[in-house]
Each structure stands twice: as structure tokens, then as C-alpha cells.
Structure 1
Amino acid sequence: MLKILGVVFVMFSVLPFAARADHRGIILIHAGYGTPGKFVLQGRVLEGEGIRAADKDLGRFANVVDSFNTLETDELKGVGVEVEIDGRSFASRTDDDGVWRIESQDLLSPLPTGALPITVRATGETGYVIADAHGVVHIFGDEPGIAVISDFDDTVANSGVTDKKRLIARTLTKNAAQMEVVAGASVAFRHAMQAGARGVFYVSGSPQNLHERITEFLRIQQMPPGPILLKNFGEDPLTKHVEYKVERITHLMNLLPNLSFILVGDSGEKDPEIYRIVAERYPRRVIGIVIRRVNDADNTDSRLFGMTALDDYTGDPEVLAKLINKVRMK
């Protein structure tokens, strides 16, 4: 998906879209996670007011227009940002891609654990009317636990990565309410949480412009909410998908040293190879790898050796919960 959407993104970025009216801007909150002593929080500030809400009855043309506006964004550079969390304030400023990021280290007063509410506001004179944004940062305690790291395309959403024409069509002509969930995914992931998973991280090579669409899809499908880590085409390499994803997962493993992980992906791209690299680096912390077999992909036993392979999650909706319970019973 990454290569195709990268080309689409570049195409849209040079199209003569009209500027949003009334000089309005919007703050987006992306990944937010950490421990009581340190956390990472990131988002963007863009022109406009965002796209319309997902609607299962929306037509193809309207979806294409919304997709254009999603992939071609006008970033607001140099905007001061203030984040309030647990009665404390942290400051940042947007870069050339409109991205703001706070990476707090060694907090003198630890944060409480759980999904902590946050408020993000623009500071200083921006020339735009920008409303405050509200979200959460997921703070994981220091006690040992298990979490899930999952891919998105063809792992929880039917994207058709191996069929590039179908992939482009689905990306451009469907909104979050029309996207298809992989059969049984919602139940399997919810059962993982019920079995004691501390959280779910969604790590994908899709562009960060799709963050709101993915967030809405997860909400509609009643998937567990969690940090969504996506690619910044202005900073991350466009084609080095394996390196990018290994780096993102390694970052999580290092930031959250007391958590072990189940890695969930699909055979359509490079998830088996990526997860094998991670498991070799952290053999005691990867408790299982679950791969969804995708049609027209390499599903050979040699490639998926040592992994739990399935066509979808309906055959064993407890597949993730069983891995968690197996560890907890030791």
C-alpha cells in the first residue's frame, strides 16, 4: 500500500486545490503513549476544518473529493502548540510538515496510568482560527504485561494490498464507514483485551494523512482504541518499508521495556520478515506472531514457520487471548 499511496500523495500535492475558507485551522492528535516517567505525543496542525464525517451512504464522487483533501493537506508551519496533561503543560512547535511532537523524559512527578485526557491548543498569533483539540495519551505502568502490535491493511481492514488497482480504488472511493473489516478481527482483538492485554498499537506504513480515517474505522468496527503510528512522507523513507516498521516497533519495545508483545500482521507485504527480525532481537518479549494469509501472497510454510497463520479470525476468535492466557498461566 505504501508505494502506491506515496505516488498518489505526490500527485495530489501538486493539484491546484482551493484554499480553505475563513482562514481556519485544525489541530490533529496522533500517537500518544508512554510510561509514568516519560511519554511521546504527536500530531499536526493543518489549514481547514477537516473532512466530513464518515457516511456509509456517501457516493463515490464525494469520497474521491474527500480523499483528495485528505491526501493533499496544507500544513501550518511554525505554530506554537501547548499540551495540557494531568494539570501540567508542555510546549512544542510545528515543523515544515505541520507536525508537532513532544517527547518528555524523566518527569519529576510521575503521570498516573491509563488513558489520560489531554487538551492541545495553538499559542501565539497564527492568522487562523484554531479550536482546541481533545484526546488521550496512553500511559502504561511499570508492572510486567502484554500488549498487541498490529498492522492495519489486510490485517484488520480488507485493503487488497496485493491488487494495486483494487487498493487504489478502495482507498479513494470508500470512507471509514464503507471500509471492510477482516472477518472476526473486532471480536478477536476485543477478546485479547478481555484476556488482559494492556493495549493495542497499530503500526502501519500508510501515510499519516490517513490517521483520522483509520481512527474512525477502528471506532466504527469497535476495535480497541490505541496509538496509531503512521508514516510521515516528508521525513520517513518512502520505499524502505521493512526498515521503517522495524524502527517503529523497536522504538516501542525500548520505550516500554516491561511489556511483552504479540505481533499481528498479514502475508501481503513484509510483515512475516519484519516480525521475525523483531523476534530475533527480543526473543523473550515476543510471545507470539499471528499472520493472516492473504490471497495471491507467499503463504508457504517456510515463510510462516513458527507463526500462527489464519485466513481470518472467525475460525479461532480466541487466537490472541490464548497466547495471552498461555503466558499468564506460567
Structure 2
Amino acid sequence: MIGRIAEFAAACGRALKVLHPKRTFGPAEIDPYFGYSTPDEIVVRGRVLSRRPDKGKTPAKLSPTIWTNFKSMAALFNTRELENVSVRCEGQETVTDEEGYFSLNLPKPDDVYGWVSFDCYFNGGDAPAALTALLPSPNADFGIISDIDDTLIKTETWSLLRNLWNSLTGSAESRLVFSDAVALVEMLHDEVNPVFYVSSSPWNLHAFLSEIFDRAGLIRGPKFLRDLGVSKQKLVNENHHSRKTRSIDTILAANPSLTFILIGDTGQHDARVYHDTIKRHPNRIRQVILRAPHRSIGRSDLHWIENIMETGTPIFVGETYDALLKS
């Protein structure tokens, strides 16, 4: 089934280019993503693209309609990605891939921690884009890796129809962020411990999610999202499990001196992903926290929760995080 969907998506992408070769887009720009650091380098990331200026642009309203929200969400995906564009930053240079993505490894300065920003340029661009990255403090006790959907934000990913409705008709103002999640992440962060986010949401939603986070007061952190390209190979290989485990592996490798707390939910089989992480990275995971977004937990999740318990890793499972906040 996945292979057929990939073939269909790739065919649609080719057909659109043939049927609408002269679609009008705005000027090219860098869509910036939060970067991260390793012991030796700073990794800044982004995407060069252009947007449809006449689509999804509606006047701001205090109470936007569902149709307005839908058009705004659709506009986030109505972009033209630019391939082989040269991007320069701090003396380093690279080119974008077939879907406009790029990353640059920059020298890491000594004794600089927290959020840092760099001006980055691309061929054809008039003004620089500010790319930011997080450099964890040496005083951090541990790191936090959290899922987003149904862990922090209510999306009901366990129900396809509800997930589509929430994702396509909601706005940054209307999306429900769990207040106990905000409090939990803030408590664990403790003003020094770095927070990272992994999600199946596509990179097109990076700025949208960041706006939701800012409005809710969620701790800012680098996000590791999903490449939603129409490439047949990428759609086949980029499943939920492999994408999330690869992202977690990247975060752990970038922070070899830290142990981590993993936060997720029982709606997208995070228990299995986190169990596999524990097995691949002995002594690196200090706790697993899972929200149960609906009362019943599937057999598969129960199986992997039991497997996590057998590893000796502390685990919490509950409908809310209130018990953790009171402890």
C-alpha cells in the first residue's frame, strides 16, 4: 500500500509540473529551522523555497472560519522548493537538495552557550536570513526529548478522521496545548536542561508549530520533523518508526555527555520506539513518560511498555502528567 501511495504521489508531482509549468510564486526565501550543536560543531538548517503570494492570504480575523483556517494551512504546503541553490554562512557553503533542504556545520566557539544566531545568504536572495541554534549549557543535568502530537498538543493522531480535521481546520490560536505538558517540560527544563522535539509533522509546519509553542509558553527547542516529499524512495523509507528513531539517534549522538528523558504518548506507538532506543543506547535513557490520550491502551503498546519495564528504566503512563508535577 505504501509503495502504491508513493508511486501515486510521485506521479501527481510530475503531472503538476507538466500541467502548470508557469505557476506564479513569490520571491525565493530561506525557511529557517532551529539548529543544534555537537561537541565540535553547530548545525544550522533550513530550506530555500518560494510561496504562492495569492493563496491562503486572508485578512486577520478575531474568529477565523474553518474555511479560512483550511486555506491558511493549505498555503503552508503550496510552495516551490529550489534545488542546487548555494547557501553561505560564516564562511561555509553548501547547496540545497532536490527538495530545497540544506544544513551547514559551523565552527563552535568556546564558552558560548544558549541560543546563537547567524546571518545566512543564498544565491538570488537580497537579504540574509537569521538561522538560530541551541548550544546546551555544560551545567545541564540531562536532556529532554519529547514527541509533539497528543503528547503536548491535542491532535488525536490515533483517529485518522479526527487528526485530519484538527490538522486542516485549526489555527495557531485554536490548537489545544495541554497545560500539564507545558508545566512538565518547564519543570524538567529547570532553566538549563536542553529540550528537543521529534514529530511526524512535516517540515512545512515548523514555523506554525513554533508559533503554537510560543503562544502556549512551551520551552523552545530544536525540532526534528518529517520530510514530506513526493519522492518515491523517501515516502517508502520514511515511516514513523525509522524517522523517529533516526532523529533520537541524532540528538543522542550530538549530546554524548547527557542522559535523556523521553516523553511521548500511547497513540503512535512511542513505547516501541523508546524501548528500541533504550536497547540501542544502554545507560542513556533515565526515564520514559507516556501520556495515554484515550482510556484504552492497545495490546501492542502494553507489550512495549512491559518491555521497557523489564529493562529497569523508570516509566510513567497516565492520562495526565499531574502526578509527576506533584511529586
Q: What's the TM-score bracket when you normalise by the shorter of the two chains?
A: 0.7 to 0.9
Deviation of 1:121 after TM superposition, in Å, equals 2.2
Q: Of the candidates 85, 89, 92, which is equivalent to residue 90 of structure 1?
A: 92
Relative to the length of structure 1, the TM-score reads 0.81
> Is the alpha carbon distance of 1:146 and 1:20 closer, same or farther for their aligned partners in structure 2, counting shifts above 3 Å?
farther
Q: Which runs of 5+ in 1 are unaligned?
A: 323-330
Deviation of 1:279 after TM superposition, in Å, equals 1.1
- The correspondence of residues 152-231 of structure 1 with structure 2, limited to 5 A, is 152-194=148-190, 197-231=192-226
- Relative contact order (alpha carbons < 8 A, sep ≥ 6): 1 or 2 greater? 1
| RMSD between superposed Cα atoms in Å | 3.2
Q: Measure the CA separation in 2 of the matches of 1:9 and 1:143.
A: 47
Residues 248-257 or 297-306, more deviating: 297-306
Secondary structure of 1:24's partner?
Answer: coil
Q: Which runs of 5+ in 2 are unaligned?
A: 310-314
- The correspondence of residues 1-330 of structure 1 with structure 2, limited to 5 A, is 19-20=23-24, 23-35=26-38, 37-48=40-51, 57-83=63-89, 88-104=90-106, 107=107, 110=110, 112-123=112-123, 126=124, 131-141=127-137, 145-194=141-190, 197-234=192-229, 236-238=234-236, 240-295=239-294, 296-298=296-298, 302-305=303-306, 306=309, 307-317=315-325
Q: Measure the CA separation in 1 of the matches of 2:103 and 2:247.
A: 15
Deviation of 1:120 after TM superposition, in Å, equals 2.1
Instruction: Tell whether the 8 Å contact from 1:202 to 1:229 is kept in structure 2 after alignment.
Output: yes
Give 1 or 2: higher helix fraction.
2
Report how many aligned residue pairs link the two structures: 305
Instruction: Tell whether the 8 Å contact from 1:207 to 1:232 is kept in structure 2 after alignment.
Output: yes
Residues 59-68 or 232-241, more deviating: 232-241
> Is the alpha carbon distance of 1:145 and 1:20 closer, same or farther for their aligned partners in structure 2, counting shifts above 3 Å?
farther
Among the aligned pairs, what percent are the same residue?
23
Name the aligned partner's letter for residue 47 of structure 2. Answer: R
Secondary structure of 1:64's partner?
Answer: helix
Residues 28-37 or 200-209, more deviating: 28-37
Q: Measure the CA separation in 1 of the matches of 2:281 and 2:149.
A: 25
Secondary structure of 1:185's partner?
Answer: helix
Q: Measure the CA separation in 2 of the matches of 1:229 and 1:117.
A: 19
CA displacement, residues 188-239 of structure 1 (integer Å, 9 cap, x when unaligned): 1112122x55211001122111111111111111000000111113374455
Residues 250-259 or 297-306, more deviating: 297-306
